[in-house]
Amino acid sequence: MNSGLLFAAVALLIILIAVVAVLVLRRQSAAVVASPAVTADDRAPTITDAPEEDLSALPEIEIPDAAAGRLNRLRARLARSNSAIGQGLLGLLSSGEISESTWDQVEETLLLADLGVGPTQELIARLRIRVQVAGTTTPEQMKVMLREELLTLVDPTMDRAVAMHAQGRPAVILVVGVNGTGKTTTTGKLARLLIADGQTVVLGAADTFRASAADQLQTWGDRVGAAVVRGPEGGDPAAVAFDAVSIGTEAQADTVVIDTAGRLHTKTGLMDELGKVKRVIEKKSPVDEVLLVLDATTGQNGLAQARVFREVVEITGIALTKLDGTARGGIVVAVQRELGVPVKLVGLGEGPDDLAPFDPKEFVDALVGDS
Ligand SMILES: Nc1nc2c(ncn2[C@@H]2O[C@H](COP(=O)(O)OP(=O)(O)O)[C@@H](O)[C@H]2O)c(=O)[nH]1
Ligand SMILES: [Mg+2]
């Protein structure tokens, strides 16, 4: 009798446990479908039976290349500068007796490479003295001298760090330059560099003249996980810049990078506007960096643009783009001399990670060739 009662109680307990277990399991699997994982790695396996719309709604975040050693990785892109400057000079100077006409050819090579008249004269004067002192020189000695003198001209003592850490607020970077030089592309690539460095980034689409400019920046931001602040087409660029800095501050972002417009045909208007953008941002936060984007293929024209921009905003760094498409790498030296401001970034292609922090030694090594 007693054993019958015990049997019934045990059976009841087993059924109860089974029901509870089924309920718990169902809740867990429902939760997995309802809240898809955020990291790219977990994503696919956890929501395989979710409807297709959910899958496409998830952002595809790319992991950018690390910032360190980028210029070294991209050095082959300098090949055209390389043969024009380094190899051209070494070819001339290593051919035994150096005559006056050889020095003339050296001068011509340097000027063609956009080094500028002043730096060209300096380089030749220094080399002539060193060659005289050394008497005869081997091609290897010549290469060492050339490397040292080019490095002096590029100036390894300049501080080339892009401002990206501020105390208790986001660092603010304003990107300026003429249309087509690569501002938007550089802003997008810079966001990737900063994110590769572990930062959170907010982008401001202050080129409000063309909707496509904001869309272009949005695409860059989406790919890498940077929020993009934009305004209405034709809206006030200063207001967008202000909003971007406000939102970046609120969100405790590490850096806010602001892309601007650059229509040169309305030069005065553009310059007034640029000054206003900076002043309006400064109501909210200091501007830590004004990056002037210059297209390396434009030579003297680029230098003229630099002078115009310098009149309106205090430029703190230069981003030299399209160095992959030119034999005129000497522009690095010329533009630094012209503005007294360091080249901080170089663009070496259209790919998302084709922007590198500028390193004088790596640059000169790439020009002269490995020792
Ligand atoms: N080859 C090469 N093309 C570049 C580089 N930087 C930008 N570009 C291209 O230059 C064009 C203009 O760039 P964009 O960012 O729209 O210029 P913006 O008008 O100043 O904003 C685009 O086709 C870019 O892909 C670079 O470093 N190398
Ligand atoms: Mg643009």
Nearest CA to ligand 1 atom 5: 322
Query: How many whole angstroms from 277 Cα to the centroid of ligand 1?
Result: 23
Helix (H, G, I), strand (E, B), or coil: what is residue 316? coil
Indicate the pTM of the whole model.
0.83
Is the CB of 360 within 6 Å of ligand 1?
no
pLDDT for 299: 87
Q: Which ligand is nearest to the CA of 179?
A: 1
Is the CB of 204 within 6 Å of ligand 1?
no
Minimum mean pLDDT range among 9-13, 170-174, 350-354: 9-13
User: Which of the listed residues 350, 353, 355, 358 should we mutate to test ligand 1's pocket, taking the one with most ligand atoms within 8 A of CB?
Assistant: 350
- Please give the angle made by the CA atoms of 200, 204 and 210, to the nearest 5 degrees: 145
Query: How many whole angstroms from 292 Cα to the centroid of ligand 1?
Result: 14
- CA of 348, closest atom in ligand 1: 27
Q: Which ligand is nearest to the CA of 185?
A: 1
Between the alpha carbon of residue 69 and those of residues 74, 133, 196, 285, 350, the distances in Å are 9, 36, 13, 32, 18
Q: Distance (Å, rounded) from C-alpha 156 to C-alpha 295?
A: 22
The phi and psi torsions of 347 (rounded to 5 degrees) equal -95, 130
pLDDT of residue 162 exceeding 90 = yes
Q: Which ligand is nearest to the CA of 292?
A: 1
Is the CB of 348 within 6 Å of ligand 1?
yes
pLDDT for 24: 42
Q: Residues of 208-245 as b/e, b for ≥16 C-beta within 10 angstroms?
A: bbeeebbebbbebbebbbbbbbbbeeeebbbebbbbbb
pLDDT of residue 29 exceeding 90 = no
pLDDT of residue 17 exceeding 70 = no
Burial of 204 (0-12, 13-18, 19+ CB in 10 A): buried
pLDDT in tens, 107-139: 999 999 999 999 999 999 999 999 999 887 888
- Average of pLDDT values for 278-295? 97
